[in-house]
Amino acid sequence: MDNRIDVLREEIKQKLSSVGDLAELDKLRVGYLGKKGSITALLKGMKDLTNEERKTFGAEVNKLKANAAELIDKKVEELNRRAIEAEIKLMPVFDVTTPPELTRGSYHPVTLSQRQCEAVFKSMGFTVEDYAEVVTDYECFEAVNIPKHHPARDMQDTYYLENGQLLKTQTSAAQNAILRKYGKNLVENGVPIKAIFPGRCFRNEATDACHENTFFQMEGMMVDKDISISNLIYFMKTMLSEVFRRDIKVRLRPGFFPFVEPGFELDINCEICGGEGCPSCKHSGWLELCPCGMIHPNVLREGGVDPEKYTGFAFGLGLTRLAMMKYGVKDIRDLNSGNLKALSQFTDDDN
Ligand code: FA5
């Protein structure tokens, strides 16, 4: 038997043991198994053999070829594994255990205030609704009686998307959807609409100690037969006394919002300076907290509720300002700062 096969087998084994990377290995593969490779040459040379010789020799060469291919594949695996191991060795070591100085996380003061308000209103039979932050011009303005070119829009400039949608300036943007969602139950089954809907609002405005471009409001609505201003005042008083858990001074004064008539501004005595005047209240001693009023007939009608039969109140609580007052945060911008040292010091009264 031709000993060229044994010679090649030994040679391949030897060379493979010293191959250090994939490029070198590929050269080796081409040198033996490629079109001009040594094993391929053996196969090509078989044409000069007799039939009988070709049969036995051919079988041996094919065995060698299969064996060489298998050894090369194994070497590829080995080289890949070694490369990954080397990469892992170079990686920095991460300590995945919790550092001892980190204790439990804490809720943001606005979240705490929102939860407290939600608990109070839920206990009085209100549902809590969620709503989008990106809304249409119709939802934010037209559906709540602020037609295009109405001067009230000047107070609420915002950020517009290229498709005409906008980042909502007020939680009132959900009023129409809430009326539509629960109006049928009111008309058909006499179930009053009682909903609150907290949400993030955006306005393009200069920031100061009590104004942010991104802040939270919590809207509330109640619609039924014979709802009056006294119902509105009752719910406002209950909410504030439950959230603050002490007597706080508030004042109610007339205010204009196109979606309520009559409309009121509900101000809170500044809890930072006690009414003396400071940057947090723009030196007035009072902070606008929760405008409110009786829902305008146009808004009810637009939401599919007959204003001849039903009346209702709505309010738009400044949730971020409430958190400021409740937790004694002097500058509203601290609440958006992401400063954990400052924000993690507040806890829920109930915990
Ligand atoms: C409104 O947004 C009305 N949608 C509220 C409303 C609802 C009135 C239902 C009547 C009936 P106003 O722009 O005043 O109104 O904002 C309401 C409250 O949100 C303010 O009193 C204040 O507490 C808070 N607020 C408004 N702008 C900012 C701001 N830039 N930064 C922080 N809080 C703000």
pLDDT at 351: 42
Cα-based distances in Å from 317 to 216, 290, 331: 9, 4, 18
In tens, the pLDDT along 276-287 reads: 999 999 999 999
Residues, the chain, total?
351
CA 148 remoteness from chain centre: 31
Residue with tokens 């009686």: 145
Does the bond joining 262 to the residue before it have cis omega, within 30 degrees of 0? yes
What residues are in contact with ligand 1 under a 6 Å CB criterion?
170, 172, 203, 205, 211-212, 215, 217, 219, 257, 259-260, 263, 288-289, 291-293, 314-316, 318, 320-321, 332
Strands (E) in the chain, as ranges, are 127-128, 134-135, 166-167, 193-202, 214-224, 250-254, 260-269, 286-288, 292-295, 311-318
Cα-to-centroid distance, 218 and ligand 1 (Å): 9
Q: Which residues of the chain have pLDDT under 50?
A: 351
Other residues' Cβ atoms within 10 Å of the Cβ of residue 29: 20
Sequence-distant (≥ 6) Cβ neighbours of residue 8 within 8 angstroms? 32, 38, 39, 42, 64
- Give the residue extent of every domain in the chain: 2-90, 109-343
Cα-to-centroid distance, 84 and ligand 1 (Å): 58
How many DSSP H helices and E strands does the chain contain?
11, 10
Question: Which atom belonging to ligand 1 lies closest to the Cα atom of 332?
Answer: 32
Q: What is the CATH number of domain 109-343?
A: 3.30.930.10
Sequence-distant (≥ 6) Cβ neighbours of residue 1 within 8 angstroms? 56, 57, 60
Does residue 224 contact residue 193 with C-beta atoms inside 8 Å?
Answer: yes
pLDDT at 230: 95
Separation CA 311–CA 307 (nearest Å): 6
Closest residue (by CA) to atom 12 of ligand 1?
A: 291
Closest residue (by CA) to atom 5 of ligand 1?
A: 316
Cα-to-centroid distance, 271 and ligand 1 (Å): 18
Helix axes 22-33, 51-90, angle to 10 degrees: 180
pLDDT at 287: 95
Reference 76, options 30, 32, 25; nearest CA is 25
Cα-to-centroid distance, 221 and ligand 1 (Å): 15
**pTM, to two decimals:** 0.74
Question: Which atom belonging to ligand 1 lies closest to the Cα atom of 313?
Answer: 11
**Rg over CA atoms, the chain:** 38
In tens, the pLDDT along 74-119 reads: 999 999 999 999 999 998 888 788 777 766 778 999 999 999 999 9
Sequence-distant (≥ 6) Cβ neighbours of residue 15 within 8 angstroms? 28
Cα-based distances in Å from 52 to 47, 58, 227: 12, 10, 109
Cα-to-centroid distance, 111 and ligand 1 (Å): 18
Closest residue (by CA) to atom 6 of ligand 1?
A: 316
Phi/psi at 77 (5° precision): -55, -45
Cα-based distances in Å from 145 to 6, 150, 151, 174, 338: 95, 9, 12, 13, 37
